């Protein structure tokens, strides 16, 4: 039996919000021995043109969670394309569909605003893994800013920035520039 594109939608200007029902269970995740299903709806944002392509292709959408998180962390949710135009896909993300195809080797789809459910073209770009990691939200409990953490031993806040470069010389030049910027005349000279 062929399923029709049956998602409820809400239009918001040039965007369409697709309401994707989702079901998860806590089986095997908690100490209790019984399964407790959780039902909720995710709001997936796409451009009208993308919505029309999904509708015309009778698409089936699915949801994955980064780091296997559950419904309490929906900002980490990612949407994938399960089927379109009768073809079933495994591991084909909705951002790839929006951006025009699978990424080139070493590239990934980056959600500029950090919301994996916002799949409008203006919010997507190709990025290397390193670039994509610079755009993630902070993961610490004390600060939501990436690169900021609290050191309990010293009672001080720590700010750190890392940058990957190809050569030791480039890394040293970057470190010297940052030290001079932060410490001014107190920056230690390498000479």
> Domains of the chain: which residue ranges?
8-138
> Could you give the CA distance from residue 115 to residue 123 in angstroms, rounded to a whole number?
9
Number of other CB atoms surrounding residue 183 within 10 Å: 10
Q: What is the pLDDT of residue 2?
A: 45
> Could you give the CA distance from residue 104 to residue 99 in angstroms, rounded to a whole number?
12
Q: What is the pLDDT of residue 24?
A: 63
Q: Going residue by residue through the chain (191 aa), what tens digit of pLDDT does each one get? A: 344 578 899 998 999 999 988 766 555 554 444 455 567 788 999 999 999 999 999 998 988 776 544 444 444 678 888 888 888 888 899 999 999 999 999 999 999 888 889 999 999 999 988 788 777 665 556 777 777 878 889 999 888 777 778 898 988 888 888 878 887 877 776 66
Q: What is the pLDDT of residue 15?
A: 95
What does the buried/exposed string (b/e) look like for 47-68 if buried means 16 or more CB atoms within 10 Å of the residue's CB? beebbebbeebebbbbbeeeee
> Could you give the CA distance from residue 59 to residue 83 in angstroms, rounded to a whole number?
5
Q: What is the pLDDT of residue 102?
A: 92
């Amino acid at each position: 039996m062929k399923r029709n594109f049956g998602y409820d939608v809400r239009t918001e200007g040039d965007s369409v919000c697709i309401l994707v029902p989702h079901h998860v269970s806590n089986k095997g995740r908690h100490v209790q021995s019984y399964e407790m299903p959780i039902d909720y709806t995710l709001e997936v944002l796409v451009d009208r043109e993308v919505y029309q392509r999904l509708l015309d292709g009778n698409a089936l959408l699915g949801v994955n969670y980064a780091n296997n998180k559950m419904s309490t962390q929906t900002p980490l949710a990612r949407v994938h394309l399960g089927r379109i135009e009768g073809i079933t896909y495994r591991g084909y993300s909705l951002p790839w569909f929006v951006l025009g195809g699978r990424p080139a080797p070493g590239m990934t789809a980056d959600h500029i605003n950090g919301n994996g459910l916002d799949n409008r073209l203006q919010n997507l770009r190709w990025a290397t893994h390193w670039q994509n990691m610079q755009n993630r939200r902070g993961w610490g409990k004390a600060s939501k800013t990436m690169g900021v953490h609290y050191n309990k031993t010293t009672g001080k806040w720590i700010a750190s920035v890392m940058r990957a470069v190809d050569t030791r010389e480039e890394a040293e030049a970057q470190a010297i520039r940052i030290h001079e910027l932060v410490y001014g005349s107190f920056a230690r000279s390498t000479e």
